[in-house]
A and B are shown apart, each in its own frame.
Chain A
Amino acid sequence: GAVVSQHPSRVICKSGTSVKIECRSLDFQATTMFWYRQFPKKSLMLMATSNEGSKATYEQGVEKDKFLINHASLTLSTLTVTSAHPEDSSFYICSASILAALSYNEQFFGPGTRLTVL
C-alpha cells in the first residue's frame, strides 16, 4: 500500500516551454502533497505544500508564478514549470501524506521526475 506515482519520469524540453508533472496517490487519499526539488549530489529542498482544494503554500524563495501547483483531488497534484529555463533542470520529487491515526503523517515519496531544459 501507500504507492505514489509520478508522470513523466523523465522529460526534456526546450527553453521557454512549460512542463507539467503529475503526482498521484494510487491506493490512498492524500490530504496533503509536497513538492521537492533536488540538484545533483544535493539534498531535497521543499518547494511547496498543497492541500486538496486550496492554494499551495510555497517556501521562501520559490516563485509561485513559475512553479504552478494544482491539487485538484485527493489523489492528484500537478506541478507546472512555466517558461522553463536551463536552471530549472532538476530532479523533482513529490510526496503524499495520509491524515490518519497511526500513520505518523508519514510522507510517501514518488519515483521522481528528471527535467532537463535545453
Chain B
Amino acid sequence: ELKVEQNPLFLSMQEGKNYTIYCNYSTTSDRLYWYRQDPGKSLESLFVLLSNGAVKQEGRLMASLDTKARLSTLHITAAVHDLSATYFCAVAGLTGTASKLTFGTGTRLQVTL
C-alpha cells in the first residue's frame, strides 16, 4: 500500500523567509503532483513531476523530485502572504492508465506579515 507523508503539517513563516516542505512516499511511482488548496475551495494544480531529478519552478515556488530517495520537496522563496494555503503532494500508482492518487497529509502554510 502506497503511503505518502508530508512534513511539516503546519508551517508559520514570516514574509520574506525561505522554507521547504517535504513529501516522502513508500513505493515506486512515476508521477508526483503538488496542489494548493485555499480554505473552502478545491485543489489547484501547481506542478507535475515525471522523472528523477525533475525540477519545476513557478514564481516563488519550486518543486523537485528524487525518485531514488522517494522524496519530493516544495521550496518557498521569499514568502508572501498570498502563499498562505494548504499544500498537498500526491503520488500516482504505477498501474498505468488513469492511476489512482494517494495524497499526503497536507501542509498548512501561514505567512505572517
Contact = CB atoms under 8 A, between A and B. Distances in A.
Interface string B8-35: 0000000000000000000000010101
A109 B103 CA distance: 14
Contact of A104 (B31, B40, B42): B31
Given A32-B97, A97-B98, 12 more contacts: A32-B98, A42-B106, A46-B102, A49-B98, A49-B100, A51-B98, A93-B42, A104-B48, A105-B92, A105-B99, A111-B41, A112-B41
Interface of B: 31, 33, 35, 40-43, 45, 48, 50, 88, 90, 92, 97-106, 108
B75 to A, nearest CB: 21
A111 B108 CA distance: 19
Contacts, number: 52
Contacts of A46: 100-102
Interface of A: 31-32, 34, 41-46, 49, 51, 93, 97, 99, 104-112, 114
